[in-house]
Amino acid sequence: MTNRLIALKAEALTDAHRRLFIDNFARMLYSGTGSTSNFARQVPVSESDSLRVFLGMPEAELDDRRRRIFEAMYAYVLDLPVVPRPELWTDTPAWCPVNPRRNHDRPIESCQLDFEFVDTFGLRRTIWEKEILFATLGPITTKAKQGGDLSATNLRLYMALALFGFQDPSQFFV
């Protein structure tokens, strides 16, 4: 049995609103200092969920409590009342971020991960490493600076981005 994906509608927010949504979500869970807050330990979400909710999440993971927190953040970002908003959800995720620096003439094997593009999403590097890319980025950066062969690394990063839900993982390579 498959579990269909569900997402916040791509057209519901501009890219600036989406960035504000992700930034506020991350700040709500982690202030950058001290230990994890009691609030963050009690809510059933992670920082990367603020991005996944636009790309598509298994519907089974979106229980009422999780939907409510995403809808509340949506309301917060747009300064709206916090009310249930079932109209915001779609089972056809359509948001596909585009990297203006991506040159599609170069095969991914000869590219490197675009850290500037990664940073535009507003998630901490550790979240990218642990929850999205499943890779430590420091050695990848060093290897790229030294002109090392990144083809196998890029393949793994591409697959990790696809697994996370990006429809066009090639956008992350320049």
The reply to whether 85 and 155 lie within a common domain is no
- Residue 158 host element (H or E): helix 151-164
How many structural domains is the chain composed of?
A: 2
Q: Which residues of the chain have pLDDT under 50?
A: 1
* Whether residue 49 is found in the same domain as residue 83: yes
Determine the pLDDT at residue 71.
Answer: 95
Would you list the DSSP string of 13-30?
Answer: S-HHHHHHHHHHHHHHH-
The pLDDT of residue 15: 87
In sequence order, what E strands does the chain have?
A: 5-8, 57-58, 89-90
27: in domain = yes
Same-domain pairing of 131 and 70: no
pTM: 0.90
pLDDT reported for residue 2: 59
Instruction: Tell me the residue range of the domain where 137 lies.
Output: 108-172
Each residue of 19-28: pLDDT tens digit? 999 999 999 9
Residue 103, domain member (yes or no) = no
**Listing from the earlier edge strand, what are the strands of the sheet with 57-58?**
57-58, 5-8, 89-90
**Does 146 map to a domain?**
yes
Could you read off the pLDDT of 37-69 as tens digits, one per residue?
A: 888 889 889 999 999 999 999 999 999 999 999
